[in-house]
Amino acid sequence: MNAMTHTTNAYNFGFLDEYAKKEVRRAVLKAIAIPGYQVPYASREMPMGRGFGTGGLQLTLSLIGPNEVVKVIDQGSDDSVNAVNLRQFIEMTCPGVSTTTKTAECTLVQSRHRIPELALTASQIIVLQVPYPDPLVVVEPSEDKRKTMHGEADYSRLLVKLYEDIVKFDEITISHRYPTRINGHYVIDPSPIPRWDVPKLNDSAALVLFGAGREKKIYAVPPHTRAEPLAFSDVPFRVEDFRDAAGRRRACARCGCTDSFLDEFVADSGSKTWQCSDSDWCDEQLLRTEHPQGELA
């Protein structure tokens, strides 16, 4: 609580003043009403760096209530430095709120770069941190022009980019931040989640909110809304391939899971292993299978 005593005035619940929170909530309502549309908002400065999740954090702090159970992950992990930092800040500025690492127990997840493997439910909200809110930025630098393109659902230049990829590489080279069409109109940048996570947006039971603090935009994929990654009928969208040279699906070296997104590790000897990127998922798989005593690493 050191930071709290640095000034004579204590901070408001959720750090931001109430007007700021109201503004964010109004933007959220609009974002839900127009799925995939990037709603501009003022975006206050937060005490952590722009690019570290200030947009997501403003959403979280505006939505958080006294009975909230919050989970914060970064790269799928609850324990990476930035996730710890954000969680501590939430605990510090929202007294009474509880935090958890368990996906199943939380009511609100703030995440950077991942959607948890465990399917989220209707009683949960996921807040994704967004560095680049506009998928058209790769083909058009001017926001003014991009706004018109979005309004007209004119994504032809984006499709041409995908086509050019196929001509050049025989493969679409977009690895993450895969452009995804929401409810048949607006194409969104789903934040730097891997392609693996994009299908989770489609018909999601949970509300998915996106917050870009630096770029001052909020957008949403409301529950049970269509989310279709851009692709061609003869070149379908594909998620990351975790098969080995023999074509077998690699398994997590820790829990043995064969249907999760894997992080690749290079040991000092040069050999490679793979483990679940979602740390809570990995723990749950371990508990469920060969470690009934719960003797976790």
Sheet of 108-112: strands edge to edge? 39-40, 217-221, 207-212, 125-129, 108-112, 69-74, 98-99
Judged by CB under 8 A, which of 123, 241, 246, 294 binds another protein? 241
What single string gives the DSSP state of each residue in 183-216? TTS-EE---S-BGGGGGGGTT-SSEEEEEETTTT
252: contact with another protein by CB under 8 A: no
Nearer residue to another protein within complex by CB, 11 or 183: 11
> Which 23-62 residues touch another protein, going by CB under 8 A?
23, 40-52, 54
**Which residue reads 């159970």 in tokens?**
69
Stretch that binds another protein, among 111-119, 120-128, 156-164, 224-232 (CB under 8 A): 111-119
Judged by CB under 8 A, which of 66, 79, 148, 288 binds another protein? 79
255 is catalytic: yes
* Distance of closest approach, residue 286 Cβ to another protein, in angstroms: 11
Q: Is 282 exposed, middle or buried (0-12, 13-18, 19+ CB in 10 A)?
A: buried
Question: Torsions phi, psi of 155, nearest 5?
Answer: -110, 25
Q: Write the CB contacts of 165 (distance below 8 Å, at least 6 apart in sequence).
A: 171, 172, 173, 174
1: contact with another protein by CB under 8 A: no
Nearer residue to another protein within complex by CB, 117 or 225: 117
Distance CA 11, CA 32 (A): 29
185-214 mask for another protein (x: CB under 8 A)?
Answer: -------xxxxx-----------------x
Judged by CB under 8 A, which of 29, 33, 66, 142 binds another protein? 142
262: contact with another protein by CB under 8 A: yes
Judged by CB under 8 A, which of 36, 37, 59, 74 binds another protein? 74
135: contact with another protein by CB under 8 A: no
Question: How crowded is residue 251: how many other Cβ atoms within 10 Å of its Cβ?
Answer: 18
Which of 113, 144, 108 has its CA nearest to residue 126? 108
Judged by CB under 8 A, which of 114, 150, 161, 200 binds another protein? 114
**Structure-block tokens of residue 9:** 């005035």
User: Active-site residue numbers?
Assistant: 36, 252, 255, 276, 282
